[in-house]
Amino acid sequence: MLEGVRFARLPGNYLICQRGTPVMMIENYGTRLWTIGETNAEDLREGIRTFTSMLRLPGRMRPFKTITVEQCDGIRPTLSPLEPVLRSLGFHKDRNQTMEYDGY
């Protein structure tokens, strides 16, 4: 796990695993993304793609309507190595160097 980062078991937090190995922590419905260890971009892309698929659930089952990423590993997503992964999944630059995905 990341030093200094704790994963609280709260409704808006998610742990993304690939082949049984944790690769990313998602906090507050996607506000903060934390990569775990050395993970390749394709595993991260697939994990985030699965997370964004919740926006396609029926209205009452959908836990959130948009995803606004404010931080990736403690820095703004537009300055992060994850920026190309997020952009390839349909995230777009929003104000204050955040990235947003609305899924509609």
**In the block, which residue shows the tokens 């997020």?**
86
> In whole angstroms, what is the distance from residue 42 CA to residue 6 CA?
25
Tell me, yes or no, whether 5 lies in a domain: no
Range of the domain at 33: 14-101
pLDDT score of 102 more than 90 = no
Q: By CB neighbour count within 10 A (0-12 exposed, 13-18 middle, 19+ buried), where does 54 fall?
A: middle
Tell me, yes or no, whether 2 lies in a domain: no
> In whole angstroms, what is the distance from residue 102 CA to residue 78 CA?
17
List Cβ neighbours of 93 (8 Å cut-off, separation of 6 or more).
Answer: 78, 99
The total number of structural domains that make up the chain: 1
pLDDT tens, residue by residue, 20-31: 888 999 999 999
pLDDT score of 2 more than 90 = no
